[in-house]
Structure 1
């Protein structure tokens, strides 16, 4: 049975893909949850489309999935050495306050590192450092953060372990192309180096001019979040009913309509709820809330507003407990994603108060407890050094900018980022993994798992750190979309799409057919994530190449590179989402800067593949 010439089984799979694409784009539910739904749907449709329940869950046992889990863990082991942090701190000495040097340092270090260490944690570590470099260089952080993300994406094209899409492509190569046992560790490195060089040259010239300065150079965090009308200081007179109450208890009272952030007395500041100070006459309370709520608070407790005392970043920097104002990005794999701020209980567990949330161009300053946390949200928080350390270890929030003094150029690199005693051992283990895979001594999945085992037993990585390092949402996304790609191949869906591509060969040379395929794949990756794109498009590419008499490996490489280089949307790549808030970018900024870069690399990569591997 066929529908419009398409096998009925393939029609069902296309319908499932269509639903999945809508959910991926709309993000009505998280993408990893959509992937789980795909697994369930494939199992339910199994008798009709020829898949068993074992086939539906095969993505969990796929070598690519296991390899990616292991690489997350190995990257954490390298991160724990302090090498990346030390390098970031050392950049200050090179920059010496020059904007051009700051941009060169940003892209010139991030790109090569991302070829061997997962680029997401690299960007997480570099965001606060690059923000500091921007301040020292008297340049808007917006001018550096987007290039930071793009350079990390470019670096992923250098080696097989540079990004998860490369590992997936290698596994598809083994399964779909007879006679090939995957892709070698450095097999496409020459083309990756060319892409990196061209991409960095663009970022240092044309991209530098196109990248907007959305965040002012001397931006005050209070001003940046338009909180001048929400933060106020009120004085407690002798007749107030709050006298002798613990200030933390006042903040917790249900009849207090504002958040009490700080008690100030005789030049000293006491952060709430970290203090047990009792309110005395003459004390000043720093509170957060709309003006109407502040007025209600004053009237209810006989307080006086200090009209000439504005609240700024510096108001929070002189607390003896070290509490400060900062911004923090919510990464894609944060445990807080999907929870409301009330459910996250940041203040209760981590003494962290959220004052505002920036989501794209939307700024949320009221009713914060009901705000559901989303990936890429930029939070304005008041937090302690202990909380900063906790979030640095857990990765649930990436603290990107602190208002407190003490920037990275004021300390020696060795003191700011000491190396672990295990550093030589961890580096040797990582080098052994890469070497074993490059020399074909072991399959990459076994070499990576062996490296994880070695790091744990030698103490370079604790088991808990290893599990915490894995982006489990990505793992479930992989496990869901991998069998979807196989279903499309098994039901003839890939052949149907390939036929449409083959039809263009009648009026286009083969190299332009590949270029069109590259462009279409790249556009798809910017919308539904690179992982989902590569799973859906590689079977189509291999099938089409076979029908045209072209080299299937060349077309597979085109899909791999197109999927790995998503520059045009903030959701196209996780690192884009991470810099979206801290850079104050608009959606259109990614199109403006990333669009020409994606088009340029489409031409460079297509010509490079045709030259290095041939088309037939």
Structure 2
């Protein structure tokens, strides 16, 4: 092996390790890998950023913008009301919902499709008397499957098509992915709808009264004159047990005690950190005469920093602060009737300044549950960082995070993707906050449709772009760029919202990894890896080599971003095909299928992360349905690949 090969292998190994570790965002890791290749002399500086002009990157950005138009126009809500049966059984209802999600994902961003249909899934779970997770996980997997059916359905397909074009074989067409992708998607949807949903772990059986959201971590203050003043924590906990809640900490004089002694007496202005179901909050507040800390603080109070921590209990007797929260989820005590946020096209961000909040209807105060989407601007930030009161006039009352208990004060707690937030404030303000910050409201409300005319315009623009690309009239990047321009002209997406609709971390990820993958080819590293796999694993058999590429890609996709997986595996797939003297097409298709099949972990795909909190799931819950689904994918895709794309 040459020094260049050792160097690119070291960079690749470090990149994959960083992707799996997850400490840095994917675009940061990809950019670091790109710059490392430049500094190591593996890439000329003049070509380091050519990936930003790659047609696949342009197409991804344009599809994200067009997806925004489909969302804000209300077209999806219209389809949901027309397609979903009102009184069908579990199997038929799930087929309709998952089928709609898969269909939408074939032509728009699958994360956007998932976010739009999540409130529909929650309502369906309520009607069928199922746990929300039994509908949310099937929907998430269905939208992932649907993405593999067309060129624009998911970024890995565009990346694979880009690599084929760079090899001088031309790009894959719009529906070249359909024979294999549709076969896999149909089989997967049927498995999930009639058998797979039974494999989803049930945290609690949801009835007609509401949906499961897990235990919240919140803070309550003991006001002067409260009946709780002077009582011991042990006495309070006996009363709290009856409401299904528990004390997990105490704050006194701005110092947090993680494991307070049960015999400590409560004094006025103590803050109790409690873990409670949302519907139990009104009861415990009334009985114990407590007040929600975040709702009582006036807006003039400064956003405080996190307090130092202390403990007055011995370490061996202290309750573990990392213990899993109670598994009894519940609904809010005052459920808001909300769904996907209204269109943001009517008002630009600058027009929603804090000063405008004084004109809001303050009598329309709601409690609304929001789930944080992956890639949201809220990740890693706290309520204090966001200036929720001064900027939005909102209160963050509680946070639900399955599987762990935060040590920070509520207003200083860094937020994560999948967290559930219990927000208090005017509904329109909460809707604006959700739209601006990548959150999805979970309670029920009919989607606001700005104009039926815009809904059909957005759909027509998307259909025209797909037709132009599929029939070969225009290259895909040009067709979708023209569609974006038409959307801006007709204002199905406002010009200001165009740049907000683009998922820039994904764009940077793709643009940075394209040249890195090129360095793997030019140094011969991809061919070296391919020969090692063939000689020691596939032993020269083309079919075994194809299956190996598919399985390895699926495994990596469960651990790292699917677009990154496709970019890493495409050079290896091309090298394997060349070493076997076989056609490159089936191997590239195997990469596309494998990169789109991340069903074993919550980190493999954004849709899996999105349902983590609302479904009450833990890391190990996904494989129960995901493993049979991945086995089915291999069993269906291998023969179809060999039939449609002969070796």
Q: Give the TM-score taking structure 2 as reference length.
A: 0.77
Question: Offset at 1:65?
Answer: 0.9
| CA-atom RMSD in angstroms | 3.4
Equivalent residue runs for 1:82-101 within 5 Å = 82-90=74-82, 94-96=85-87, 98-101=89-92
Give the Cα separation in 1 of the matches to 2:331 and 2:224. Answer: 17
Q: Distance in 2 between matches of 1:507 and 1:589?
A: 35
Residue of structure 2 equivalent to 1:11? 6
Contact conserved, 2:599 with 2:629, CA < 8 A, in 1?
yes
The Cα shift of 1:190 comes to 2.0
Question: 1:329 matched to which residue of 2?
Answer: 371
Match of 1:287 in 2: none
Partner of 1:156: helix, strand, or coil?
A: helix
Distance in 1 between the 2:333 and 2:623 partners? Answer: 36
Contact 1:95–1:101 under 8 Å retained in 2: no
Q: Secondary structure at the match of 1:566?
A: coil
Unaligned runs of 5+ in 1: 1-5, 241-252, 278-291, 293-310
Does residue 26 in structure 1 map to residue 45 in structure 2?
Answer: no
Q: Secondary structure, in 3 states, of the residue corresponding to 2:630?
A: helix
Task: Find the aligned partners of 1:341 and 1:35 in 2 and give their Cα distance.
Answer: 29
Deviation at 1:576, TM superposition (A): 0.8
What residue in structure 1 maps to residue 526 of structure 2?
A: 494
Is the Cα–Cα contact under 8 Å of residues 91 and 194 in structure 2 kept in the other structure?
no
Contact in 2 for aligned 1:86/1:418 (Cα 8 Å): no
Deviates more, 1:158-167 or 1:188-197: 188-197
Aligned to 1:342: 384
Structure 1 position 316, deviation (Å): 7.5
Matching of residues 195-210 of structure 1 within 5 Å: 195-210=184-199
User: What's the counterpart of residue 442 of structure 1?
Assistant: 474
Residue 597 to residue 183, structure 1, CA distance change in 2 (3 Å) = same
> What is the deviation of 1:600?
1.3
Matching residue of 1:111:
102
1:465 Cα deviation from its structure 2 partner = 1.2
For residues 60 and 423 of structure 2, the distance between their equivalents in structure 1, rounded to whole angstroms, comes to: 33
Residue 165 in structure 1 maps to residue 191 in structure 2: no
For the pair 1:189 / 2:178, whether they are aligned, the reply is yes
The number of residues matched between the two structures is 546
Which whole-Å CA distance do the structure 2 matches of 1:225 and 1:59 have between them? 45
Q: Distance in 2 between matches of 1:220 and 1:258?
A: 29
| Alignment correspondent of 1:225 | 215
Bigger helix share = 1
Matched residues in 2 for 1:464 and 1:57: separation?
A: 26
Asked if residue 368 in structure 1 is aligned to residue 363 in structure 2, the reply is no
Specify the alignment match of 2:348 in structure 1. Answer: none
Q: Check 1:459–1:313 CA distance in 2 against 1; reply closer, same or farther (3 A cut).
A: closer
Q: 1:532 to 1:416 in 2, by over 3 A?
A: closer
Check conservation: 2:222, 2:270, Cα contact below 8 A. Answer: no
Aligned pairs for 1:402-441 (under 5 A) are: 402=443, 407=444, 417=449, 419-441=451-473
Residue in 1 aligned with 2:543? 511
Structure 1 residues 148 and 347, CA gap change in structure 2 (3 angstroms): farther
Equivalent residue number for residue 62 of structure 1: 54
1:560 corresponds in structure 2 to 592
- Report the CA distance shift for 1:36/1:508 in structure 2 as closer, same or farther (over 3 A): closer
Q: Residue 313 of structure 1 aligns to a residue in which SS?
A: coil
Aligned partners of 1:440, 1:134: CA distance in 2, in Å? Answer: 42
Deviation at 1:538, TM superposition (A): 0.7
Q: For the Cα contact (< 8 Å) 2:95–2:190, is it kept in 1? A: no
Distance in 1, Cα, partners of 2:72 & 2:448: 14
Q: CA deviation at 1:103?
A: 2.0
Given that residues 586 and 641 in structure 2 are in contact (C-alpha distance below 8 angstroms), is that contact kept between their aligned partners in structure 1? yes
Contact 2:33–2:516 at 8 Å: present in 1 too? yes
* Contact 2:161–2:171 (CA under 8 A) maintained in structure 1: yes
Q: Report if the CA contact (8 A) 1:429-1:454 is conserved.
A: yes
- Match runs of 1:301-316 below 5 Å: 313-314=332-333
Distance 1:387 1:448 in 2: 33
Kindly tell me: are residues 26 and 357 of structure 1, through their superposed partners in 2, closer, same or farther at Cα, counting changes over 3 Å? farther
Alignment equivalent of 2:398, drawn from 344, 352, 356: 356
Q: Does the CA-based 8 Å contact 1:154-1:195 persist in structure 2?
A: yes
- Please state how far the C-alpha of 1:323 moved relative to its aligned partner: 2.9
1:355–1:526 Cα change, 3 Å:
same
- Write the distance in 2 (CA, Å) between the matches of 1:172 and 1:257: 62
User: What whole-Å deviation, never above 9, does each CA across 1:208-254 have from its counterpart, x for those lacking one?
Assistant: 22112224414878993156x955886868xx9xxxxxxxxxxxx98
What SS class does the counterpart of residue 422 from structure 2 fall into?
Answer: strand
Q: Which residue pairs with 2:116 in the alignment?
A: 125
Partner of 1:244: none
Q: Given the superposition, is the C-alpha separation of residues 315 and 186 from structure 1 closer, same or farther in structure 2, using an over 3 Å criterion?
A: closer
Closer, same or farther in 2 for the Cα pair 1:99/1:232, shift >3 Å? farther
Shift of 1:452: 0.6
2: CA distance between counterparts of 1:355 and 1:270? Answer: 7
Partner of 1:296: none
Quote the Cα distance in structure 2 between the aligned partners of 1:8 and 1:470.
Answer: 39
**1:578, distance to aligned residue in structure 2 (A):** 0.6
Match of 2:127 in 1: 136
Alignment partner of 2:567 out of 532, 535, 538: 535
State the TM-score, normalizing by the size of structure 1.
Answer: 0.81
Q: For the Cα contact (< 8 Å) 1:130–1:144, is it kept in 2?
A: yes
Q: Measure, in 2, the Cα distance between the counterparts of 1:431 and 1:315.
A: 42
SS of 2:175 mapped into structure 1:
coil
For 2:82 and 2:397, the matched residues in 1 are separated by: 33
The answer as to whether partners of 2:457 and 2:492 remain within 8 angstroms in 1 is yes
Deviation at 1:165, TM superposition (A): 0.9
Q: Residues 263-295 of structure 1: CA distance to partner in whole angstroms, max 9, x if unpaired?
A: 99xxxx999869999xxxxxxxxxxxxxx9xxx
Aligned residue for 1:364, secondary structure, equals coil
2:365, 2:424 within 8 Å by CA — same for their partners in 1?
yes
Shift of 1:113: 1.2
Ranges in structure 2 where 5+ consecutive residues have no aligned partner: 230-252, 255-267, 274-280, 300-309, 311-329, 338-360
Matches within 5 A, 1:72-83: 72-83=64-75
User: Partner of 1:387 in structure 2?
Assistant: 429
The question of whether the paired residues in 2 share the 8 Å contact of 1:95 and 1:137 is answered with: no
